Amino acid sequence: MIEVSREKFEELVAEALDTIPTNLTSAMSNIVVTVVDDPPEPHLLGLYTGVPLTERGDWYSAVLPDRIEIYRNPICQICDTEEDVVKEVRITVVHEVGHHFGIDDARLHELGW
């Protein structure tokens, strides 16, 4: 386990988001990414809540933003070094962004995310 300050962890999440290609981030719509210390369920590292882009239709308007939460404490608990945290944050961020694009867990795991 390693301790990473909330401020530093938020920077790592921002840096992970910056690694996503611009053509993908420009397609992201009505979404907020936040850092939360603890998940609602044990063992979660991140969580996407919302309506994936692939499921939005004409009915989709005036809705609250989708939400990606990245959980600081569980990620820090499974990591031994700051480099491990950087890697796990990136994996988790990309995984949850994948859900925003409508990609399910099985396919994300096949792709290494």
Give the model's confidence band at 51: pLDDT under 50 very low, under 70 low, under 90 confident, else very high: very high
- Tell me the per-residue pLDDT of 11-23, one tens digit each, with 9 for 90 and over: 999 999 999 999 9
- Alpha carbon distance 23, 67 (integer Å): 20
What residue ranges define each of the domains in the chain, with the CATH number in brackets? 6-53+61-111 (3.30.2010.20)
For 54-110, write each residue's pLDDT tens digit.
Answer: 999 988 888 899 999 999 999 999 999 999 999 999 999 999 999 999 999 999 989
Structural tokens at position 84: 């491990």
pTM for the model stands at 0.93
Strand 66-71 and strand 31-36: the pairing is parallel
Q: What angle do CA 96, 80, 69 make, to 5 degrees?
A: 20
